[in-house]
């Protein structure tokens, strides 16, 4: 039998060892939980990372003819996707006396048997408008827009989606299509959607099962009603997207009809393809003004849109 002081010391040492071990065990469990949460978050569309893609694009300046930002942005998209995509093509074109480049990156389905069908297209325009004709100051109206929302936000959603697709292929092939020369409409008699029209002509055999166009999706007061041409040409697809939005509580998606908006989905719809447009409507005050800057953008808006699209891609609940 130990004398009572020794016994007390032994008990204290054992108790401290126990506390130290259990603290260590707790620390390990906390670490494991943290890394599980990190893993789950990594597999999720991250609005903050999408914001960084907007910051990068606007840092290059306007993405319109005669500005170095145009080539820098094309390089940025290409360099990010080249090592990750299963196929990447830049498709130059000439139309209406202008030169442009559409860029098309494919991420094949996880199961090679599903490689060619079904396949989903996600599209956005990467150019920006050369004039801010709606600016309240006449002096600004001849200047190009920054296009944080109108241009960079759609590209940012596609690039953040590319990160997810790179780390885990989807059950279907996903094509990310970056369209040029969307925003030349009503300048010197030019139409909107020049690049999208060229893309459809150049790729007549490309028939994705479904397509989602994202345009102007970063505003902090983002509102996306059900665009009407999309409703008329691809109601089932629009319903599927809105159903996911409802289930996620993504409140930027509104359960009401929007306007008829002539955007890059129209050439696809006219070719008989099911492509819907996710677009802010009514257009925000900053639209085609010098105020289309990143301070009006929100990571949360981007994340709501991105998470709805990623669930659509990864967890197809109904056949397309
Ligand atoms: C969307 C963003 N658009 C241009 N920038 C297309 C459009 C232009 C839609 C005018 C409606 C009216
Ligand atoms: Zn525009």
Buried b (16+ CB within 10 A) or exposed e, 28-60: eeeeeeeeeeeeeeeeebbbebbbebbebbbeb
198 or 40: which leads in pLDDT? 198
Per the CB < 8 A criterion, the answer to whether 212 and 276 are in contact is yes
- Per-residue confidence (pLDDT) for residue 150, from 0 to 100: 98
pLDDT the model gives residue 20: 52
- Residue 263 Cβ < 6 Å to ligand 1: yes
Task: Starting from the CA of residue 133, give the closest ligand.
Answer: 2
**Mean of the pLDDT values across residues 166-195?**
97
Q: Are 223 and 281 in contact (CB under 8 A)?
A: yes
**Residues less than 5 Å from ion ligand 2, measured at CB:** 129, 150, 183
262 lines ligand 1 (CB under 6 A): yes
Relative to the CA of 216, which ligand 1 atom is closest? 2
Which ligand is closest in space to the CA of residue 128? 2
Predicted model pTM: 0.89
Which of 16-30, 124-138, 175-189, 259-273 shows the lowest mean pLDDT across its residues?
A: 16-30
Q: Is the CB of 150 under 6 A from ligand 1?
A: yes
Look at 105 and 43; give whichever has higher pLDDT: 105
Say how many Å lie between the CA of residue 261 and the centre of ligand 1. 7
Between the CA of 212 and the centroid of ligand 1 the distance, in Å, is 16
What are the residues whose beta carbons fall under 8 Å from the beta carbon of 84, sequence distance 6 or more?
107, 162, 165, 166
Token digits of residue 55: 């910051």
């Amino acid at each position: 039998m130990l004398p009572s002081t020794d016994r007390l010391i032994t008990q204290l040492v054992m108790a401290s060892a126990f506390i130290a071990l259990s603290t260590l065990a707790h620390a390990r469990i906390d670490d494991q939980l943290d890394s599980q949460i990190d893993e789950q978050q990594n597999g999720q569309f991250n609005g903050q990372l999408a914001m960084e893609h907007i910051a990068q694009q606007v840092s290059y300046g306007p993405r319109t003819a005669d500005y170095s930002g145009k080539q820098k942005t094309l390089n940025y998209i290409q360099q990010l996707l080249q090592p990750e995509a299963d196929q990447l093509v830049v498709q130059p074109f000439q139309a209406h006396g202008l030169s442009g480049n559409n860029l098309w990156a494919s991420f094949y389905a996880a199961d090679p048997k599903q490689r060619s069908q079904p396949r989903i297209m996600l599209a956005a325009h990467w150019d920006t408008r050369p004039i801010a004709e709606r600016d309240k100051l006449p002096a600004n109206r001849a200047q190009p827009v920054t296009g944080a929302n109108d241009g960079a936000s759609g590209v940012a959603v596609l690039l953040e989606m590319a990160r997810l697709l790179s780390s885990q292929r989807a059950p279907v092939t996903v094509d990310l299509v970056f369209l040029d020369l969307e925003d030349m409409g009503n300048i010197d008699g030019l139409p909107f959607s020049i690049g999208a029209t060229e893309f459809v002509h150049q790729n007549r055999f490309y028939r994705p099962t479904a397509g989602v166009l994202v345009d102007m999706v970063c505003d902090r007061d983002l509102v996306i009603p059900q665009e009407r041409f999309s409703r008329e040409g691809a109601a089932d697809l629009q319903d599927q997207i809105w159903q996911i939005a409802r289930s996620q509580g993504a409140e930027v998606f509104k359960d009401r009809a929007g306007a008829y908006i002539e955007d890059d989905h129209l050439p696809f719809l006219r070719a008989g393809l099911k492509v819907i447009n996710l677009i802010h409507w009514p257009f925000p005050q900053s639209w085609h003004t010098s105020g289309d800057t990143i301070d009006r953008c929100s990571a949360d808006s981007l994340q709501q849109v991105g998470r709805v699209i990623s669930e659509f891609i990864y967890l197809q609940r109904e056949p397309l």
